């Protein structure tokens, strides 16, 4: 399954009052594995950026000079998102802005407007977090603290940075990143030799002990250390 973790930064809170997108960042996840592929643009919103929002994301009027306008990245973004499940924290906000941008573009091109939901599905991690942890804070920072995810480098909001952090949060929120437990390659389907299983069950005598190598013991300890860091509790494993 292909998922795209997405975040935007904007000039304000309401696209119906003329606020626009000024940054979009996406991280690709396939079969619960972060692939390393990203989509990121700082965008000229074609309007003034208020000082109060600059303090949030550190993107001011000077920084967007020479950056592409949304219409210049819209087709590439649509293709990047098409067919995927979008993973967004407080999805109504980002989807509202994205659809507002595509509606403006449709009018400019004299085309019928198609909402982004016609090309992909959406999962809201804010709703997932509230259902899983009722009564607890569900902000991205709060979830990072809950799941032991380092976000100390997040001095400002940023679309790509927040998407990268949200990808880690989403995988922990929904059960952990399964590729840590499975191999990098998919298991191939093999036919089961039932007669071999029966014969194995009839084997008599002492079982052979196979001791792990030093490298395997080191990898095992590293995995336990990762679990301890994620859970915030020491992992007691019998020798």
CATH code at 2-176: 3.30.420.10
Give the whole-angstrom CA distance, residue 154 versus residue 141. Answer: 9
- Per-residue pLDDT band for 149 (boundaries 50, 70, 90) equals very high
Looking at 31-139, which runs of residues are DSSP E strands? Answer: 33-42, 85-88, 121-124
CB count in 10 Å sphere of residue 62: 7
Q: Do 161 and 25 form a contact (C-beta atoms < 8 A)? A: yes
In DSSP terms, 25 is beta-bridged to 7, 40
Which one from 41, 57, 157, 220 is the annotated catalytic residue? Answer: 157
- For 199-214, the pLDDT digits (tens) are 444 445 556 677 788 7
Domain segments of the chain as ranges: 2-176, 213-239
Active site residue 157: yes
Task: Write the DSSP symbol of residue 82.
Answer: T
- For 151-191, the pLDDT digits (tens) are 887 767 889 999 999 999 999 999 865 343 333 333 434 34
Rounded to whole angstroms, what are the CA distances from 204 to 95, 192, 232?
Answer: 64, 22, 45
Give the whole-angstrom CA distance, residue 199 versus residue 202. Answer: 5
Q: Is 217 exposed, middle or buried (0-12, 13-18, 19+ CB in 10 A)?
A: exposed
Chain mean position to CA 105:
27
For the entire predicted model, the pTM comes to 0.73
């Amino acid at each position: 399954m292909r998922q795209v973790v997405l975040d935007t930064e904007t000039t304000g809170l309401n696209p119906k009052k003329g606020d626009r997108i000024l940054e979009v960042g996406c991280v690709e996840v396939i079969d619960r594995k972060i692939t390393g592929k990203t989509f990121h643009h700082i965008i000229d919103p074609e309007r003034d950026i208020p000082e109060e929002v600059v303090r949030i994301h550190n993107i001011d009027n000077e920084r967007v000079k020479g950056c592409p306008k949304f219409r210049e990245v819209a087709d590439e973004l649509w293709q990047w998102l098409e067919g995927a499940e979008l993973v967004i924290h407080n999805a109504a906000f980002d989807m509202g802005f994205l659809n507002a941008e595509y509606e403006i573009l449709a009018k400019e091109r004299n085309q019928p407007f198609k909402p982004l939901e016609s090309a992909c599905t959406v999962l809201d991690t804010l709703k997932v977090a509230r259902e899983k942890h009722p009564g607890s804070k569900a902000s991205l920072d709060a979830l990072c603290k809950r799941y032991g995810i380092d976000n100390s480098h997040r001095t400002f909001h940023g679309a790509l940075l927040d998407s990268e952090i949200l990808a880690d949060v989403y995988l922990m929120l929904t059960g952990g990143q399964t590729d840590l437990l499975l191999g990098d390659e998919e298991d191939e389907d093999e036919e089961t030799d039932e007669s071999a299983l029966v014969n194995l069950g009839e084997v008599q005598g002492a079982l052979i002990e196979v001791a792990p190598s030093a490298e395997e013991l080191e990898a095992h300890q590293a995995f336990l250390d990762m679990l301890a860091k994620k859970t915030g509790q020491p992992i007691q494993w019998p020798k």
